[in-house]
A and B are shown apart, each in its own frame.
Chain A
């Protein structure tokens, strides 16, 4: 059985708490970070991350920079990344594993997270 660890990197507190609550109700272990920088720190502490839900527009370190960094680090590069963004365009050079557009459909969110944790 795979781990069911989810990392949410998102600066909007309401989005974070809502996604966290709903994913926890589905039995996932949820970690949260306010920006890319915090996300990297959590990856350093928590092993076996199943999937990362990544916002793009964030202060300090945005989603694009995080994705580029994560994909370059062999320790984290295999972790699937799902971009959750209001903008159509996402990554430039590095591609995420999936993209979910805001406003987010719960079914899509759950099925996507489920897919990467199965």
Chain B
């Protein structure tokens, strides 16, 4: 009798295993027989088949095998000691793993109907009678093996398919996630004039900044994450208190806070930002999330607009005063004449008084129309509508004519006017505009000259005519010199000197459109010297003329 270890050995029917299917699953058949000889005979009979034969010599061993391994079919001897074939079969039918495994009974006896019925009730699918008809046995087992193989293949394919589908799904999800991330990144990095940022709520250390942080403020991105006080140092020191208050508010109230503040760039430049900040929950706790828009340009425009408005308001106040001043004597005179006329006293008024009053009225009207002309000039200059009527113009003659207009006033105030000039200096200019330049400069020299001498110098310097008008009066402090050619500006307060403050602005603009230059040399109490340079050939580009 062979020992039991031999009986339990796995008999390899072929050196090459049945692994040709995609599943790669081995197909096995279990043989149960208490007779070693029968098992050996089976082994011999099934040699060369593409499944392996597992042999056991008792029902108990068979039950253990089916719990551990899967079989394409079970060949079961009916007559065995202890657990016979029927009993073993019914127990196998109760096993979750093997309840569908086909069982073929091998028997030499029991040909009767009753016996066969019992076998089928126990779960047999077939009977094979001994002595074995080997080709039939092979054929039957081949069918079961093939069925099993196909079932395993289907399982494998379905498993594979499931796996594949889940892989595809995972890939899709990953792709989607990547795309979403890229989209967000594009959105965040696409904000050119703003910085998207996150900081720790306690330390205010940056945990994220969008790349335009570097382009806007000049600090390399890597430096934003270094150092505890980087964020605080970014904020303009006058705004730190407000920013801290806003952050506290966002944190304690859990609300979004908007604020306007300044930040200081790497080169020391102060930039204005409009920031929106809120607290967000993250895996590591809380963080501030913010969006800070660079509104420096807007702010500068706003400020210059405000300045312009203030200058305009001041101008309007001065202008209305200047317009009212000549109106006062005019109105008084008109009312005075009417009163005298109504009272029938007009014939009693001495002729000399009447003449003087009418002359005063005339001069006030002249002042008014001059003011209106100035205002119109400014409006023409602003809209670029000033036109030059170019003709050969003698600067010396212009200065002489204008000086003549001031003769009476100069004599009255005892102001010497000294003019040094060549015989003539003719250029291609607008005569009336050149006279306006001379008029404004001489007028200023007398007005601010403190009653001292006024010097005018005319000379040629290469292709340029130079006109210098110098007074010895109050002078212009260096700090004010840059703005005196601006619109509505004057270096001294309106309290002591009348006028719209437009003279030098208009003069500057007329010189400019003649493509000349105007400059001033002065200091407080040192008088002022205005120097005008005009190209003798006149302005070059024709398009400027009309």
Binding site for B on A (CB under 8 A): 12, 14-15, 17-19, 21-22, 24-25, 57-59, 62, 86-87, 102-107, 109
Inter-chain CA distance A86–B495, complex, in Å, is 12
Do residues B339 and A102 form an inter-chain contact, with CB atoms below 8 A? no
Q: Please pick, from B336, B360, B494, B496, the residue contacting A106 in the complex, using a CB distance under 8 A.
A: B336
What chain A residues lie within 8 Å of B326 (beta carbons)? 14
Q: Is the interface of B mostly helix, strand, loop or mixed?
A: helix
B164 within 8 A of A: no
B211 within 8 A of A: no
- B325's nearest neighbour on chain A, judged by CB, is A12
Name the distance in Å between B289's Cβ and chain A's nearest Cβ: 53
Q: Please pick, from B328, B340, B498, the residue contacting A25 in the complex, using a CB distance under 8 A.
A: B340
B254 within 8 A of A: no
Name the distance in Å between B469's Cβ and chain A's nearest Cβ: 21
Do residues A103 and B331 form an inter-chain contact, with CB atoms below 8 A? yes
Q: A57-B496, A59-B497 are in contact. Are A107 and B325 (CB under 8 A)?
A: no
Interface string of B331-370 (1 = CB under 8 A from A): 1110110011000010001000100110010011000000
Inter-chain CA distance A21–B363, complex, in Å, is 16
Q: Please pick, from B324, B329, B339, B495, the residue contacting A14 in the complex, using a CB distance under 8 A.
A: B329
Q: Which of A14, A87, A102 lies at the interface centre, i.e. has the most chain B CB atoms within 10 A of its CB?
A: A14
Do residues A87 and B321 form an inter-chain contact, with CB atoms below 8 A? yes
B327 within 8 A of A: yes
Q: A25-B340, A102-B325 are in contact. Are A18 and B332 (CB under 8 A)?
A: yes
- B496's nearest neighbour on chain A, judged by CB, is A59
Do residues A14 and B364 form an inter-chain contact, with CB atoms below 8 A? yes
What chain A residues lie within 8 Å of B332 (beta carbons)? 15, 18-19, 22, 103-104, 106, 109
Do residues A15 and B329 form an inter-chain contact, with CB atoms below 8 A? yes
- B339's nearest neighbour on chain A, judged by CB, is A106
Name the distance in Å between A22's Cβ and chain B's nearest Cβ: 5
Do residues B360 and A14 form an inter-chain contact, with CB atoms below 8 A? yes
Do residues A107 and B335 form an inter-chain contact, with CB atoms below 8 A? yes
Inter-chain CA distance A61–B363, complex, in Å, is 26
- A84's nearest neighbour on chain B, judged by CB, is B328
What chain A residues lie within 8 Å of B324 (beta carbons)? 86, 102-103
Binding site for A on B (CB under 8 A): 320-321, 324-333, 335-336, 339-340, 345, 349, 353, 356-357, 360, 363-364, 494-498
Inter-chain CA distance A12–B326, complex, in Å, is 9
| 16 residue pairs from A and B, CB less than 8 Å apart | A14-B329, A14-B360, A17-B329, A18-B328, A18-B333, A18-B360, A22-B333, A22-B336, A25-B340, A25-B345, A57-B494, A58-B496, A102-B324, A103-B324, A103-B332, A104-B332
Inter-chain CA distance A12–B322, complex, in Å, is 11
Inter-chain CA distance A57–B328, complex, in Å, is 15
Name the distance in Å between B142's Cβ and chain A's nearest Cβ: 121
Q: A18-B333, A109-B332 are in contact. Are A25 and B325 (CB under 8 A)?
A: no
In addition to A59-B497, A103-B332, 11 A-B residue pairs with Cβ atoms within 8 Å of each other are A12-B325, A15-B329, A17-B360, A18-B329, A18-B332, A18-B333, A25-B345, A86-B321, A87-B321, A104-B328, A105-B335
Name the distance in Å between A116's Cβ and chain B's nearest Cβ: 18
Name the distance in Å between A56's Cβ and chain B's nearest Cβ: 9
Q: A21-B356, A59-B496, A103-B328 are in contact. Are A14 and B363 (CB under 8 A)?
A: yes
Do residues B336 and A21 form an inter-chain contact, with CB atoms below 8 A? yes
What chain B residues lie within 8 Å of A24 (beta carbons)? 353
Inter-chain CA distance A74–B311, complex, in Å, is 43
Q: A102-B327, A104-B332 are in contact. Are A21 and B353 (CB under 8 A)?
A: yes
What chain B residues lie within 8 Å of A86 (beta carbons)? 320-321, 324-325, 328
Q: A22-B336, A57-B494 are in contact. Are A17 and B328 (CB under 8 A)?
A: no
Inter-chain CA distance A58–B498, complex, in Å, is 9
Do residues B357 and A103 form an inter-chain contact, with CB atoms below 8 A? no
Inter-chain CA distance A102–B495, complex, in Å, is 16
Nearest first, the 7 closest Cβ-Cβ pairs linking A and B are: A106-B335, A18-B329, A14-B329, A103-B327, A103-B331, A59-B496, A102-B328
